[in-house]
Amino acid sequence: DFSNLFARDLLPAKNGEEPTIQFLLEVVEILTNYVRKTFDRSTKVLDFHHPHQLLEGMEGFNLELSDQPESLEQILVDCRDTLKYGVRTGHPRFFNQLSSGLDIIGLAGEWLTSTANTNMFTYEIAPVFVLMEQLTLKKMREIIGWTNGDGDGLFSPANMILILYYLASHYSIKKAGAVLGFGKENVILLKTDERGRVIPADLEAKIIDAKQKGYVPLFVNATAGTTVYGAFDPINDIADICEKYNLWLHVDGAWGGGLLMSRKHRHKLSGIERANSVTWNPHKMMGVPLQCSAILVREKGILQGCNSMCAGYLFQPDKQYDVTYDTGDKAIQCGRHVDIFKFWLMWKAKGTIGFEQHIDRCLELSEYLYNKIKNREGYEMVFEGQPQHTNVCFWYIPPSLRGMPHGDKRREKLHMVAPKIKAMMMECGTTMVGYQPQGDKVNFFRMVVSNHAVTKSDIDFLIDEIERLGHD
């Protein structure tokens, strides 16, 4: 009975050991129940409520903060309800985001990380985690193809760390241009082909144009796995141009970097070893719990050189150990969360081979979806041909629009279809998939697979659900 117990009764309180253990066991039961149900397809993906409903308070669950402490019983209710009204991103029918799934080893790693509750900035308080990070980053650099895995890196949300100028890419690059003081107008967008891949000739033309205007181009971002189309830019062609004009080449492999683990698919990133820097987010395609985002650079010492502020109270040079293991001065922030342990633990538990199997399987599942719908009545693909990544982009055409001539009226109506179906999916709680417009294309569905729990039956379910909800 926790109704008469409060946080003050837990450790470090005198006699706090027993209630602490009992309380934590209750929490573990809540979490393990949640985990069990996440993989149970009869459980909904979400129990949707509008913001005003949650803010007004649900029965027994009030988001308002109070002056007086709540009992541990209420705290346990708060834990249960927080999960109840959230979204099960590990559910096999959650396809909404590039990061999805619930890896049990990764979860254990995250729990351990929170228990250790330390900070990555110095070896003195995170000796094991700092070494794990260094070894894992070296392994990733070897996989990229940099000689001996030399270079540097950090697990830290990444694109902002780099100096930015040219792109055809994720909006974070444009945002970084603004934050870093270059200005959005100095971030130049490149033309892409119908599949969303940069056209190298356009890059070269824009470099020449910028130089003629007296600007100094310095940075090119190539994307390996764009967010919507899953497109891979031709890195070798872009690298040739960067070498010719002496520009820094960054490869944003946040989404597509995971394919480096697959002997079958890594050719899509061919040329990545020529990059000066790479972003690679294991929390996306590799199923590592959020957040786990690596920035890797080929030149050793450059992170320290760019970011070091030598804060004397943290990075004393006269410590008794090799202070090059104090990684904090390389980062743009001070405190840094331990993102490495869950990834390192998963790598230990699966082996490199396990990640390869995961990647290959996700790609096979999206191929299954593509083959299922490419000629199916009521579907139109957004671009021709097999997708490069797991992104399958398509329109669902409800029966009432199928005979309608192409033109503004049809476009207007089609634009409303995906949001309407998505809203119904969320109200029913059965599945979630993303949609968006892109350029002159009206709203379409973007299906992605990165969750190791997904099977062909879940892909079939999604299609059945779209047709059930979209049947007018």
Q: Which residue has the tokens 């934590």?
A: 24
Q: What is the smallest separation between the CB atom of 97 and ligand ABU, expressed in angstroms? A: 4
- By beta-carbon proximity to ligand ABU, the closer residue of 407 and 439 is 439
Round to whole Å and give the CA distance between 430 and 221.
Answer: 38
- By beta-carbon proximity to ligand ABU, the closer residue of 80 and 93 is 93
- By beta-carbon proximity to ligand ABU, the closer residue of 136 and 223 is 223
- By beta-carbon proximity to ligand ABU, the closer residue of 410 and 441 is 441
Sheet with 94-95: list strands edge to edge: 94-95, 432-438, 441-447, 392-396, 379-381
- By beta-carbon proximity to ligand ABU, the closer residue of 315 and 383 is 383
Q: What is the smallest separation between the CB atom of 100 and ligand ABU, expressed in angstroms? A: 8
In the complex, the residues that contact ligand ABU under the rule CB under 6 A are: 97-99, 227, 254, 434
Q: What is the smallest separation between the CB atom of 50 and ligand ABU, expressed in angstroms? A: 22
Residues β-bridged to residue 392:
447
How long, in residues, is the chain? Answer: 472
Q: Are 277 and 373 in contact (CB under 8 A)?
A: no
Q: What is the smallest separation between the CB atom of 55 and ligand ABU, expressed in angstroms? A: 25
Q: What is the smallest separation between the CB atom of 257 and ligand ABU, expressed in angstroms? A: 12
- By beta-carbon proximity to ligand ABU, the closer residue of 159 and 430 is 159
Q: What is the smallest separation between the CB atom of 364 and ligand ABU, expressed in angstroms? A: 21
Q: What is the smallest separation between the CB atom of 54 and ligand ABU, expressed in angstroms? A: 22
Q: What is the smallest separation between the CB atom of 297 and ligand ABU, expressed in angstroms? A: 20
Q: What is the smallest separation between the CB atom of 390 and ligand ABU, expressed in angstroms? A: 12
Does 234 sit behind a cis peptide bond, omega within 30 degrees of 0 on the bond before it?
no
Q: Are 370 and 391 in contact (CB under 8 A)?
A: no
- By beta-carbon proximity to ligand ABU, the closer residue of 75 and 278 is 278
- By beta-carbon proximity to ligand ABU, the closer residue of 113 and 227 is 227
Round to whole Å and give the CA distance between 461 and 439.
Answer: 29
Q: What are phi and psi of 220, to 5 degrees?
A: -120, 130
- By beta-carbon proximity to ligand ABU, the closer residue of 23 and 343 is 343
